[in-house]
Structures are given as structure tokens and as C-alpha cells.
Amino acid sequence: MSDESDELAMRLKAFEGRAAAVAGAGKDPVNEPMIRHWCEAMGDTNPAYAGPEAIAPPTMLQAWTMGGLSGHTGRSGAYDELLGLLDDAGYTSVVATDCEQEYVRPLRPGDEITFDAVIESVSERKTTKLGTGHFVTTRMDVRAGGELAGTHRFRILKYAPARGKPKARRPRPVVNRDNAGFWEGVGQHKLLIQRCGGCGSLRFPWLPGCGACGCLEWDTVEASGEGSVYSYVVMHHPPFPAFDPPYAVGLIELAEGVRIVSNVVGVPYDKVRIGMPVRLQFERYDEELVLPVFRAGETDGGGS
């Protein structure tokens, strides 16, 4: 195995420095409409990107080089050749890992863009959580009027997916200062609802302030656990690791009047109905994850 890998490693190394794209030209010069669309999509209202003295947002660097649906002509085959070699070696999966940009000078409307790209490095074989493979880094130099304006490095991992991977675990909740008390309650098998210190409104999910009166003071009340299905969806696609579709996601209205998104358990997914009475229980999914879920049907004994 090591001999074969050594030979492959040498062949991969030989791609370093080869052109991935030669003498590409931007399809459009830097222009105000594309800048405006970008800023709208990004929600970027920086005044530097509008008006007669506008510059393009630096992070648009790659946008000026993109070929669109019709692509670019004159693209080098070395990159495809490299990916093909990795495919043949069993590294059939690909994931984009990161992108780095350096900005040398601002781009302004009217700048004519040219670029070329080189395969900068092919890593040694690395094993990651996803599997074993090689990182491939390309560097694109972007020029305006022939002068370097910035560089764009793009890295992918071509890998063979890990085999016999452990069963995926449910995503962890994001616990922060605003909701820590809720998750502490769950840890004690209590579903806690926030109660406004100003107007007494109950609220869920947890928020720092009251949506009714703006008051930041609050305490909690423990939910009785009684509720009903206010609405629901049945998840079929896309499948997520750790979830086994189809399954019902319910919007549960608690007896206290607030609603919570949770799983409905205890009945087949296609038997969940709006108005169905449900009762809170705490389900352990792994050694660190307990979640409140809602059981439908004639459960009366045992509690949680």
C-alpha cells in the first residue's frame, strides 16, 4: 500500500505549479449593477460601494472572474486531470474547505478583469473526520488593467468517505446566555417558560426581553406538560444524519398558551393530527443530550 501511495503522491505533487486556468478574462468589466445586486444580497449598506466614487466590495473579487452558466473557454485541463486522478485513487468525494483572499488594490467600475489560476499545492494524504484524502489548493491572481488587484485561494478536500462511521448524533442545541436557563431546566426534566416581570406575559422560546412591553425582567413558570398539536409537518426530504424520515415535527401549544416546536412521538408520523392531545416527556438521545418531546395517545402512567 505504501509503495502505491508513494507513487500516487509523486504524481499528485507533479501537479503543483501547473495552470488551472490560463489568461481568463472577466465576462463584464467591474460595474455598478453587479455591485448593487451584491450589496443587496449581502445586506451591505457601506456607502463606499455606491455613488460616483464607488469601489467594489473587496469580497466580490471572485465574482468578476466567474464564467456563469456558459462557462469560460480556454480553461486548462490540469485541474480536471488532477481531480480525475484522485477519483481513480478512490478519493471520490469532494468538499470545499476554505477560501482566502488578499486585496492589493480596490476595484472600480470600468476595470477590465483578467485572471489566471495555478494549482498551488496538493497536500500529503491526510485523515479528517470526513475521511482520508488530499487537500488541493488553487490560487487565482486577479488583475485589473493588467495590474494585480488581489488573490483568491480556494481549497478543497478530495477524500474517500470514512467507512463504518459511528451513528450520527443529533445536533447539539446552541446554548447561550439568553437560553441557558431553559436548558438547565431541561436537564432537571422541567420545561420552563419565561414570564415577563413587567406585564406577566408568558413567552417561548426564551428571549432577553418581553415582546409585549419590552421589559427585561423575567422569571419562569414550569409547564404542566399538557398540550395539543397546534400544527405539524412531516419531514421526508432532505434526510439528515441522526434523523430517520419520515417523522412528524409538531408545533405544540402548551396548556399555558405558548407554543414549542418538538417531535411528536408514540404514534406513527401519518397519524399525527391537529388538535391531538399530547403530553410532555423527556427523551434521552445520547449521553449528553436530553430533549423535551411530546407523546400522543393514551399514556397515563409512568410520567416522564
Site membership for Zn ion, residue 196 (CB under 5 A): yes
What residue has cell string 449581502?
Answer: 42
Measured CA to CA, the distance from residue 38 to residue 43 in angstroms comes to: 8
- In the list 42, 175, 199, 207, the residue contacting Zn ion (rule: CB under 5 A) is 199
Question: Least distance in Å: CB of 210 to Zn ion?
Answer: 3
Q: According to CB under 5 A, which residues from 236 to 275 bind Zn ion?
A: none
What does the chain look like in DSSP terms, one character per residue?
-HHHHHHHHHHHHTTTT-EEEEEEE-SS-S-HHHHHHHHHHHT---GGGSSTT----GGGGGGGG--TTT--SS--SHHHHHHHHHHHTT--EEEEEEEEEEESS---TTPPEEEEEEEEEEPPPEE-SSEEEEEEEEEEEEEETTEEEEEEEEEEEEEEEPSSPPPPPPPPP---TTTHHHHHHHHTT--EEEEETTT--EESS--SS-TTT----EEEEE--SEEEEEEEEEE-SS--TT--SSEEEEEEEETTS-EEEEEEESS-GGG--TT-EEEEEEEE-SSS-EEEEEEESS--SS--
- In the list 175, 213, 234, 274, the residue contacting Zn ion (rule: CB under 5 A) is 213
- In the list 50, 162, 186, 215, the residue contacting Zn ion (rule: CB under 5 A) is 215
91 or 218: whose CB is closer to Zn ion?
Answer: 218
Site membership for Zn ion, residue 198 (CB under 5 A): yes
Site membership for Zn ion, residue 202 (CB under 5 A): no
- In the list 48, 168, 175, 212, the residue contacting Zn ion (rule: CB under 5 A) is 212
Q: For the purposes of burial, counting CB atoms within 10 Å of the CB of 92, is it exposed (0-12), middle (13-18) or buried (19 or more)? A: middle
Question: Least distance in Å: CB of 216 to Zn ion?
Answer: 9
Stretch binding Zn ion (CB under 5 A), from 70-78, 162-170, 215-223, 272-280: 215-223
196 or 223: whose CB is closer to Zn ion?
Answer: 196
Stretch binding Zn ion (CB under 5 A), from 3-11, 103-111, 196-204, 268-276: 196-204
55 or 192: whose CB is closer to Zn ion?
Answer: 192
76 or 194: whose CB is closer to Zn ion?
Answer: 194
180 or 213: whose CB is closer to Zn ion?
Answer: 213
31 or 201: whose CB is closer to Zn ion?
Answer: 201
92 or 201: whose CB is closer to Zn ion?
Answer: 201
Question: Least distance in Å: CB of 220 to Zn ion?
Answer: 14
Question: Least distance in Å: CB of 200 to Zn ion?
Answer: 7
Which residues contribute to the site for Zn ion (CB under 5 A)? Answer: 196, 198-199, 201, 210, 212-213, 215
